[in-house]
Amino acid sequence: MSNDLSPADFELISRLALDRAAIVLESGKEYLVSSRLGKLAREEGFADASGLCDAVRRERSRGPITTKVIEAMTTNETLFFRDARPFDALRKVVVPELMEARRTSKSLTVWSLACSTGQEPYSIAMLLREHFPELANWRVKIVAADLSTEVLAKAAEGVFNQLEVNRGLPAPMMVRYFDRQGTQFRIKSEIRSMVDFRPINLAERIMLSPKPDVVFLRNVMIYFDVSTRERILREVGAQMAPDGYLFLGAGETTLNLDVPFDRIDLERTNCFRPRGVGSRAITPKEESWNRPSTTFAR
């Protein structure tokens, strides 16, 4: 099957990705788009990517094939405990501080946005269970959301293969929190029940509940233009707790964005808090010095 994609087909998919998912596919991404459409075309029984694009046109960009094309444009690369520093910060600073602040309400909520196949929210759940047993008597909710219904279904199932559990998952946690089923590993119900998976399109208005104390929004903002990044961060900021924490990906920044967050100095992470919270904020000059140059796929 040919991976060639005509300029008209690339324009169609680029416009669709921007309109429906706020994903920017610039010139030079033709091979990436062609490769992903070629895989989807084979799965859906089309001769090639061009035939798939014709089906999108026939659906007027609003049918089931179109939805699968949009989902194919999202990047779902992930692993357990990806980039250890945010999880270290969660364990050492964030959760202990929030537990003290919430000692009366005994409630803690974490959002994992663009959660892909679930490794990030499950990592958070395992960390909380492993290091904070006193939370067993709290109302703890992890809300995990993604655009792709396909990856959400896999995440909710909680079944991973050998390669997936070998990527970032400490062996003791694999033993404690997974049941082996042949060549597959199923996460135990005590961890699965902590996570609520929901569909969300970051290109549209973000409406989730309950209000989060911590938000993980990592390795997805790099795919959006400036105005979309600003809107997403404003909507997140409007909904999260005023003393909450926001984690972005290692290569992402709020520098030069009009958003209600300040970057803070916390365990060498890319962490932000709502503007006005007491932690020492990093100045724009410091951020430009310290911001990582490497970007990662989600």
Tens digit of each residue's pLDDT (9 = 90 or more) over 25-67: 778 778 878 888 888 888 888 888 888 888 888 987 678 888 8
Catalytic residue among 9, 20, 36, 263: 36
Computed over its alpha carbons, how large is the radius of gyration of the chain? Answer: 20
Distance, CA of 191 to CA of 82 (rounded, Å):
18
DSSP β-bridge partners for residue 178: 187
Tens digit of each residue's pLDDT (9 = 90 or more) over 92-140: 999 999 999 999 999 999 999 999 999 999 999 999 999 999 999 999 9
To the question of pTM greater than 0.85 for the whole model, the response is no
List C-alpha distances in Å: 276 to 153, 260, 262, 280. 39, 9, 8, 10
Q: Encoding tokens for residue 264?
A: 């803070």
Give the side-chain half-sphere CA count within 13 A for 78: 28
Residue 36 appears among annotated catalytic residues: yes
How would you label 69-91 residue by residue, b for 16+ Cβ within 10 Å and e otherwise? bbbbbbbbebbbbbbeebbbbbb
> Domains in the chain and their CATH numbers?
7-72 (1.10.155), 84-290 (3.40.50.150)
Is 118 in a helix, a strand, or coil?
coil
Calculate the CA dihedral of residues 215, 220, 226, 228 and round it to 10 degrees. -70
Residue 24 pLDDT? 77
Tens digit of each residue's pLDDT (9 = 90 or more) over 127-175: 999 999 999 999 999 999 998 888 899 999 999 999 899 889 999 999 9
Backbone angles phi, psi at 80, to 5 degrees: -70, 140
DSSP β-bridge partners for residue 189: none
User: Which of 298, 269, 270, 84 is CA-nearest to residue 170?
Assistant: 84
Distance, CA of 91 to CA of 138 (rounded, Å):
17
Residue 243 appears among annotated catalytic residues: no
Taking 60 as the threshold, does the pLDDT of residue 289 lie above it? no
Distance, CA of 27 to CA of 10 (rounded, Å):
9
List C-alpha distances in Å: 179 to 69, 131, 185, 217. 34, 21, 6, 29
Peptide bond into 210 cis (omega under 30): yes
Distance, CA of 230 to CA of 253 (rounded, Å):
11
Under a CB-based contact definition with an 8 Å cutoff, are residues 222 and 251 in contact? yes
Catalytic residue among 9, 48, 146, 262: 146
Task: Name, in order, each residue with C-beta under 8 angstroms of 66's C-beta and a sequence gap of 6 or more.
Answer: 16, 20, 56, 59
